[in-house]
Amino acid sequence: MTTKPNAQPRTLRLEGPGLLAAGAAIAVGLGIWDPHGALAGIVIAIVGFAAAGALRAFVGRSVRPYEFLPAVASLGYLTLVVPTSIVTDLLAGTSALGLFVWLVDDPELPRGSLRRSGDALLLPALGLAVALSSSLLIQPGYVYVGVAAGLLVAGLLAVAWLLLHPESFDAPDTPTI
Amino acid sequence: MIFGEETERSRLQWRSRSWLFYAVGAALLVLGLAARTPVPLFLALPFLLAPPGAALLGPRQAGAALDWGVYGSEEEVTIRGRVVPSEPALRPHELRLRLDRPPGLLVRAPPRFEYAEGSLNFEFFWEAHEPLITQVAVPEVLWIDPLGLVERSIRPVAEGLSIERYPPEIGRIGRVRLMRTIVLAGETRSRARGSSGEFFGLRIALPSDPPRQINWSATARSGRTWVNEFHLERTGDILLVLDLRPTGLGPEVDERIVGVARAAALGIAGAFLREKARVGVATYGEFLTAVPLGAGRAQRFRIRRVLMDSHVATIAGPSERCAIAMRRYFPAGVTTILLASLADEEAARLVPYLRRRGFPTVVLSPSPITAAFDPPGWSEEDLALVHRLLRLARHERIARVWKDAPVVDWEEYWSLAGFQAMLRAGLGSRRRS
């Protein structure tokens, strides 16, 4: 028995570029606060996200895990130079989440992956919300930044331990009689 | 169709992107502390939390059942199957399939995946470049989180698939009358008793007897376990010899020729076994590996196992050693089909040694001209001239081998018409003489 493969209709998926544009818009919002000039910040944000989109569109599958790095580089630069305020904190966090949403909408994944990605985005979004709400309540100053950094280092160590022990996420062995 | 129910225990593994996320988060953290600004920390936080979040909120264990088979005929090979997750938390949309394509098979069309209700259906469209026998390993099924940070590997416990593709003439080749062939199968009574053939009698069962051989009526009547015994039927004997010695053509071309010869050997063996002939197989690289003459389905499995394990040897043994060793396993006078490329003098020397040891031989020689790759950058005219010269040299060598045994130059790998014609004409007349 032989089956001829049917030609798969190719459809243009607009979610990816749309989500990338939304992430870039948030980054542009961060870029406006660039002390070297809003134009420079905006250009850096747009170039970073455009490079990420180009990597996905034109470069092979082997580069896929690294496609978000140009966008992260531009965001990293902007977060370093922009002044500290609740707005920039919020924009920095949401731009990372926006980037995640774009990553989830991988054209190689089956349709509807964005809809099913709630679980993957839940913990980062929750952590960000807790951090933002605590930053609203805590007075700005170096001491508090130090406390926050200490907590982050502890979290970092915990994450490192988890990364080195992936079996801790497995379900426990079922006891047998 | 083979259906695997159980699965091995799946383990969570971090993918490269999660290490990248962690590195990005750590770098932003360091930069934020160095610059004494908290803004990079807010950017770092989602990157640090995403990998453990994906691991925590994904399925804690994963299992899947695999139902698959191989379809198609001749060159076309279609692998079709279905993966059904056994955990309710495991969504088929998050499953990926990793199937290794065995060498000798080319991609005919891109694979097709369909996410049905509760299962992942897949189809792979391959093409056999030449006759082959190969095994497709059980695919690895992966659960990957939507962000591509963690994965759980699932290896369904199912049997690998066997792909066997032969020239169409193989199906009719077994009807050739061999030396010591009788008119009808089972006409000459063999002294051997076995599990198939003409009914001979009953005997008390032994622990090694298979249940299908038990005579249940006799067992019920006597209260002891009785088994049926049969006369083994025999129509003739045939021996297949594969020359696995390396030649000057290089390991890649040698392996390709051996692959074709292996497929032909199994196809010919299967065809004669179906006609109740006894078939033996010998492979010779540095030393001889033999499957003594035998009949039945079990013999086909034995031959298949030996052929699947046979590859081009690293060291070439002398031709005389092969002929001497063969007499330890096979009686003289058995019709012998030698599958050898005759690419060099040493391969051609094997034929007279076999003949001197009493093995009437027919040589089926897969042409190295077909298997060798054309050098890149050569014009059509140059290639035509090179092929012509190679053919002349090959015809000269074949003519020398013809003094000891008839040779079939197997140039078109998908056709064995020439070999079939020679078997019909040659073996019958030899028997009469």
Q: Across all residues in chain A, what is the average pLDDT?
A: 76
- Cα A106 to Cα A64: distance, rounded to the nearest angstrom: 9
Over residues B224-240, the mean pLDDT reads 80
Residue B345 β-bridge partners: none
CB contact under 8 A, A84 and B19: no
pTM (predicted TM-score): 0.68
Predicted confidence at residue B433, as pLDDT, reads 39
Asked if A122 and B13 come within 8 Å (Cβ–Cβ), the reply is no
Distance from C-alpha of B69 to C-alpha of B140, rounded to nearest angstrom: 16
Contact B22 A159 (CB under 8 A): yes
pLDDT band at residue B392 using 50, 70 and 90 as cut-offs: very high
Q: Tell me what pLDDT residue B321 has.
A: 93
Please say if the pLDDT value at position B151 is more than 90. no
The dihedrals phi and psi of A9, each to the nearest 5 degrees, come to -70, 130
Nearest to A142 among B36, B46, B145 (CB): B36
**B295 to chain A, minimum CA–CA distance in Å?**
30
Q: Which of B322, B164, B318, B312 is nearest to B239 (CA)?
A: B322
Count of CB atoms situated within 10 Å of the CB of B131:
26
Q: Do B43 and A96 touch (CB under 8 A)?
A: yes
Asked if pLDDT for residue A4 goes beyond 60, the answer is no
Nearest 10 degrees: CA dihedral of B33, B37, B40, B41? 70
* Interchain pair A163, B18: CB under 8 A: yes
- Give the SS3 label for residue B35: helix
The reported pLDDT for the residue numbered B192 is 57
Name which of A112, A128, A145 is nearest B46 (Cβ-Cβ).
A128
- Which of A80, A93, A113 lies nearest to residue B45, judging by beta carbons? A93
Q: Picking from B103-107, B157-161, B394-398, which range would have the lowest pLDDT averaged per residue?
A: B157-161
Closest CA to B103 of B132, B124, B125: B132
Two structure tokens written together for B328: 């330890």
pLDDT for A80-135, tens place per residue?
Answer: 999 888 888 889 999 999 899 888 887 777 666 666 677 778 888 888 887 877 77
- Better-scored residue on pLDDT, B175 or A121: A121
The predicted pLDDT at position B431 comes to 44
Q: Could A79 and B29 be called an inter-chain contact, meaning their C-beta atoms sit closer than 8 Å? A: no
Q: What is the pLDDT of residue B193?
A: 62
Q: How far is CA B111 from CA A7, A54, B30, B93, B182, in A?
A: 11, 26, 45, 16, 50
Among A30, A23, A13, residue whose Cα is nearest residue A49: A23
A residues 15-44 near B, CB within 8 Å? none
DSSP letters, B269-319, are HHHHHHTT-EEEEEEESSSEEEEEEE-SHHHHHHHHHHHHT----SSPPPH
CA distance B71 to B164: 11
Q: Sort out which chain A residues have CB atoms less than 8 A from B115's CB and list them.
A: 110
Asked whether the beta carbons of residue B51 and residue A110 sit closer than 8 angstroms, the reply is no
How far does A148 lie from chain B, in Å, by closest CA?
A: 9
| Cα–Cα distance for residue pair A154/A39, rounded to 1 Å | 38
The region of weakest confidence among B131-145, B167-181, B404-418 is B167-181
Say whether B41 and A84 touch across the interface (CB within 8 A).
no
B10, B43, B51 member nearest A163 (Cβ) = B51
Asked if the C-beta of A76 comes within 8 angstroms of chain B's C-beta atoms, the answer is yes
Q: How many CB pairs under 8 A join A and B?
A: 197
Cα separation, B40 vs B33, in Å, equals: 9
Amino acid B6: pLDDT: 40
| Nearest CB to A169 within list B56, B108, B112 | B56
B339 forms bridges with which residues in the sheet?
B242, B364
Instruction: Find, among B13, B46, B23, B28, the residue nearest to A66 by Cα.
Output: B23
The DSSP bridge pattern shows strands B335-339 and B237-243 to be parallel
| Of B241, B325, B34, B152, the residue nearest A145 (C-alpha) | B34
Separation between Cα atoms, residue B72 and residue A60, nearest integer Å: 32
Domains and CATH numbers, chain B: 1-164 (no CATH), 170-178+235-432 (3.40.50.410), 193-231 (no CATH)
